[in-house]
Amino acid sequence: MSNGLTDGDSDLLRRIARGDEEAFLTFYRRHQGPVYRFALQMSGQAEIAEEVTQDVFMVVMRSPKQYDPSRGSVAAYLYGVARNFVLRRLEQDRPYLTALDDPQSQHAQLAARDADPLSDLARNERVESLRKAVLALPPAYREVVVLCDLQEVDYAEAAAALQCAIGTVRSRLHRARALLAEKMRAEERCAV
């Protein structure tokens, strides 16, 4: 998802409002990846990520004029909508962390598929435990890590998506990284 109002996004939204299927498809293909990844990294479940992606673009389909350029980029708007859906889903499925230990977890499958025998094993294990640590963070910290570190969104855009001040994003990110570092150190100690 590109930052700011991508050339053509406003035109696409206008055309979507008129019922232009091609415009909707272009808009969806342009933005679905980041929305899906955000939902996946926030929830750890492909099923939730799919539902959230669908819900986000249903909102775009139903009310394309809901996006207000004065309040931030299209990307920030979509992240904001996705965040609301994810948090709602996580509220409904509170014990979602059980998915972390599920060997069928999409992330676990992905890590296993990408692993090169032996040489990358340690690295993949580290990545996998880091992914679990991210998922175990409280939502307020998790969302800044997902947005700023995993989705590489800048602070201003993250602040617009989360509807908070840039300073809040910075401080939450600092705290979240400290929590992750602590967790990773503890894991290393256990491994030794």
Partner 1 sequence: MNESDSKLLEGLRALAANSRREAPAHVEERLLGEFRKRSRARVRHRWLAVTAGAIAAGIALFIWMRPAPAKLSPAAAALSASKPAPQPAPAQTKTAALPSDQAQGSEVAMNFYRLPDADILPPLDSATIVRVRLPISSLRLMGVPVNEDRADESVQADVLLGQDGLARGVRFVN
Dihedral, 83, 84, 87, 92 alpha carbons, nearest 10: -140
State which residue, 88 or 185, has the beta carbon closest to partner 1: 185
State which residue, 36 or 77, has the beta carbon closest to partner 1: 36
Amino acid letter, residue 160: A
Query: Which residues contact partner 1 (rule: CB under 8 A)?
Result: 19, 21, 24-25, 28-29, 32-33, 35-37, 40-41, 49-50, 53-54, 57-58, 61-62, 106-107, 110-111, 114, 123, 126-127, 130-131, 134, 145, 149-152, 177, 180-181, 184-185
State which residue, 139 or 177, has the beta carbon closest to partner 1: 177
- Write down the least CB distance from residue 131 to partner 1, Å: 6
Q: CA-CA distance, 63 to 57, in Å (whole number)?
A: 10
State which residue, 93 or 187, has the beta carbon closest to partner 1: 187
Q: Which residue has the tokens 């992914």?
A: 131
- Write down the least CB distance from residue 3 to partner 1, Å: 16
Amino acid letter, residue 162: L
- Write down the least CB distance from residue 37 to partner 1, Å: 6
State which residue, 112 or 165, has the beta carbon closest to partner 1: 112
- Write down the least CB distance from residue 77 to partner 1, Å: 17
- Write down the least CB distance from residue 172 to partner 1, Å: 15
